[in-house]
Amino acid sequence: MKPQSHPFQPIRRMPAVLIAVPNNDNEAQVTNTIIEAKGLKRSFKAKGAKGKTIDAVRGIDLSVREGEIVGFLGPNGAGKTTTLKMLCTLLKPTDGSATVVGADLRRDPVEVRRRIGYVSQAGSTSPEARVGQEIVSHARLYGIDKQVAIQRGKELLAALDLGEIWDRTCGSLSGGQRRRLDIVMGLVHQPRLVFLDEPSTGLDPQSRANLWNHIRKLRDELGTTVFLTTHYMDEADSLSDRILIIDHGTIVAEGTPTELKKRVSGDTITLTLRSEADATWASQIAGRLQGADAPATEAHVVRFHVPDGATALPVLLGDLTKAGIDAIGVDVNRPTLDDVFLTLTGRSLRD
Amino acid sequence: MSFVRDTWIIFERSMLLALRQPEWVVIGLMQPVLYLTLFGPLLQTIAATSGFEGDAWQVFVPGLLVQLGIFGGLFVGFGIIAEWRSGVIDRQLVSPASRAAIITGRTLRDVVVILVQAIVLVGAAFFMGLRVPAGALLIGLVLVALLGAAFSFISNAIGMATKSEDALAPIANTLALPILLLSGILLPMTLAPAWLQVVANFNPFKHIVEALRAVFLGHFSDPIVWIGLLLAVVLVVIGAWVGSRVLTAQTK
Ligand SMILES: Nc1ncnc2c1ncn2[C@@H]1O[C@H](COP(=O)(O)OP(=O)(O)OP(=O)(O)O)[C@@H](O)[C@H]1O
Ligand SMILES: [Mg+2]
């Protein structure tokens, strides 16, 4: 993404739903819509409390283009899994409609199943079963020949650093190995669209990085569309072309990671000065920067926001030098998706 | 078409898993063999005096076979609950596999396990003195298979409907007890007072046991044989229907 210039807007006036700007990385490619959902809703009857219903998903509109990696980000209980299960035909929507890889979710669920892969949050293999048997058996349900299944399964295992586990029982694998095996199972029939529900839960940093690489490769080499849920901000951030933020069953924001962060918070600049007097001066200078909000001063420290820290910083330092003020520390913090979430909902994703 | 193929794939996977845990098959075998060795001799003397026709083995083995079919199937639901917990059921439900195949493949596995147990049981009974026509054994095995299938369907269906071992155990036990007591498996219902006999007549398993006993005595043309077989087939059809319904309802 090239940096875009955005007129500064006060945070509070941001519309709750941001309009996505197409990501034109690959302009030659014709982009088809692979998921189109309108007003998807799902409520559950609450067990115990009579007559009460839980509105897990409250009317979601989604549009995903072929070849995109879309991150579905939200806190626990936001409705990520419920949305995914609806799109995968595992749950009937209470209301709304969707087309998934060209097939109508309600009218032709079997065709949807044929065309998608789904990696559930809850795993996919029996502890007593052997890895190879599970992979081959699953692939055959999609009409894939046994020999082809073996070959693809072994390739996928190798790609996810799971070399020598073909004959092991699934229960003997470590949590992270088993998670990667789930992903192999979801990909063995080479679906055009794959749903990954919290794919990297339980993986160590190295395996996560490797998984991300693999997901990117999947898209780059096979053109697979990936729709993944996560509550890791770094994962959504570094992996997704586009992010949907869901909270309490509704999508509260949508856009590329850069867009979301730029539009919502701006960068934070933190200046540390020698004295409180300097700080007062510096805060006045900082406040005159283009697009800056009112700086907050705390003893020797001045903190304020600008739309783009990288371009504001040289100007600021120049102005400070001209005024004869010597800053002993400068920090530019790019906003995180957590800041975005915080701004949109008043709560932190980390809670 | 795809139902048959999918059933076979699910069956193969389940069968391989069952073979990897032969201890369950062995434990399942222990019970009828224990009955045979510890309870059978007791019956030798009773059979001669009471309302039974034929020798002790001809009376007792049909009962054990029916019991094997019922109990062999009734508790398999625990397995499907475990599979659901580990995500296997959802994984198969999200594939294009026929919903009916997902349960039928598992039931077929149970039928095979029960048939192996039945063959061992009959073999053991032969050594203890059972002498019946080969056709009788064949019908016996068919009946056991049908009963096993019916109860496996039902148990898997209850397992998937409740998703709780704590629910399945009492339901299965509650089903088992009246079926067992009112079927004349252990004692002939002719010994029962009139009212109990009337009640027992509503128990299809009583007729199935009677059918098998008739066959073991060589009375192949007795109409009870057809009634028993027909009842067993009806039970399988009901079980398969309920089972497929429950699996389809998983994605509601
Ligand atoms: N089968 C169900 N019955 C009743 N309530 C349910 C059911 N499934 C989900 N819910 C409720 O719906 C809401 C959304 O759940 P969902 O699993 O979609 O959240 P999530 O975003 O995936 O959360 P997490 O990050 O914890 O996986 C929660 O309040 C949950 O308790
Ligand atoms: Mg979830």
Percent of chain B with pLDDT over 70: 96
User: Does residue B54 contact residue B214 with C-beta atoms inside 8 Å?
Assistant: no
Q: Do B91 and A142 touch (CB under 8 A)?
A: no
Ligand 1 atom closest to the CA of A249, numbered from 1: 14
- Assign A28 a pLDDT band (cuts: 50, 70, 90): very low
* Residue of A45, A50, A52, A80 best suited for mutating to test ligand 1, as the one with most atoms within 8 Å of CB: A80
Ligand 1 atom closest to the CA of A42, numbered from 1: 12
> How many helices and strands, by DSSP H and E, does chain B display?
12, 0
Identify the pLDDT of residue A258: 84
Give the pLDDT confidence of B221-230 residue by residue, as tens digits: 999 999 999 9
The number of distinct structural domains making up chain B is 1
**In this structure, which residue's CA is closest to atom 12 in ligand 1?**
A56
User: Does residue A94 contact residue A43 with C-beta atoms inside 8 Å?
Assistant: yes
Identify the pLDDT of residue A304: 87
A22 has a pLDDT exceeding 50: no
A306 has a pLDDT exceeding 50: yes
Give the pLDDT confidence of A217-275 residue by residue, as tens digits: 889 988 899 999 988 888 888 899 999 999 999 999 899 988 887 766 678 888 999 98
Answer whether A73 contacts ligand 1 (Cβ < 6 A): no
Give the pLDDT confidence of A222-231 residue by residue, as tens digits: 889 999 998 8
Instruction: State whether the Cα torsion B207-B211-B213-B217 is positive or negative.
Output: positive
**In this structure, which residue's CA is closest to atom 6 in ligand 1?**
A44
Identify the pLDDT of residue A20: 40
Identify the pLDDT of residue B49: 63
Q: Do A141 and B92 touch (CB under 8 A)?
A: yes
Give the pLDDT confidence of A105-125 residue by residue, as tens digits: 999 999 999 999 999 999 999
What distance in angstroms lies between residue A114's CA and the mean position of ligand 1's atoms?
Answer: 25
Identify the pLDDT of residue A15: 35
What distance in angstroms lies between residue A136's CA and the mean position of ligand 2's atoms?
Answer: 27
- Assign A27 a pLDDT band (cuts: 50, 70, 90): very low
Give the pLDDT confidence of B145-203 residue by residue, as tens digits: 999 999 999 999 999 999 999 999 999 999 988 888 888 887 777 778 888 888 888 88
Residues of B in contact with A137 (CB under 8 A): 9-10, 12-13
* Residue of A41, A53, A54, A85 best suited for mutating to test ligand 1, as the one with most atoms within 8 Å of CB: A54
pTM: 0.84
Span A137-151, average pLDDT = 96
B252 has a pLDDT exceeding 60: yes
Mean pLDDT of chain B: 89
Residues of A in contact with B91 (CB under 8 A): 118, 120, 124-125, 138, 185
User: Does residue A218 contact residue A187 with C-beta atoms inside 8 Å?
Assistant: yes
CATH architecture designation of domain A265-334: 2-Layer Sandwich (3.30)
CATH fold of A33-45+53-256 reads Rossmann fold (3.40.50)
Give the pLDDT confidence of B7-58 residue by residue, as tens digits: 999 999 999 999 888 777 777 778 778 878 887 777 777 666 666 666 778 8
Q: Which residue of B has its CA nearest to A127?
A: B86
Give the pLDDT confidence of B114-146 residue by residue, as tens digits: 999 899 889 988 888 888 898 999 999 999 999
What distance in angstroms lies between residue A79's CA and the mean position of ligand 1's atoms?
Answer: 6
- Assign A296 a pLDDT band (cuts: 50, 70, 90): confident
Identify the pLDDT of residue A91: 95
In degrees, rounded to 5, the angle at the alpha carbon of residue A333 between the alpha carbons of residues A328 and A339 is 140
Residues of B in contact with A133 (CB under 8 A): 13, 16
**In this structure, which residue's CA is closest to atom 1 in ligand 1?**
A44
Q: Distance from CA of residue B5 to its chain's centroid?
A: 25
Residues of A in contact with B12 (CB under 8 A): 137
Number of Cβ pairs closer than 8 Å across A and B? 76
Q: Distance from CA of residue A268 to its chain's centroid?
A: 23
Give the pLDDT confidence of B57-113 residue by residue, as tens digits: 888 889 889 999 998 899 999 999 999 999 999 999 999 999 999 999 999 999 999
Structure ipTM: 0.89
What distance in angstroms lies between residue A147's CA and the mean position of ligand 1's atoms?
Answer: 39
Of A186 and A9, the structure prediction assigns the larger pLDDT to A186
Residues of B in contact with A182 (CB under 8 A): 87
Identify the pLDDT of residue A56: 93
Mean pLDDT of chain A: 85
What distance in angstroms lies between residue A57's CA and the mean position of ligand 1's atoms?
Answer: 9
Span A8-30, average pLDDT = 39
Identify the pLDDT of residue A350: 61
Of A332 and B6, the structure prediction assigns the larger pLDDT to B6
Which letter does DSSP use for residue B69 in this model?
H
Place of tokens 């509503």: B202
**Which domain, by its residues, includes B170?**
2-249
Q: Do B252 and A89 touch (CB under 8 A)?
A: no
A1 has a pLDDT exceeding 70: no
Per-domain residue ranges of chain A? 33-45+53-256, 265-334
Find which of A27-36, A95-104, A294-303 is predicted with most confidence, using mean pLDDT: A95-104
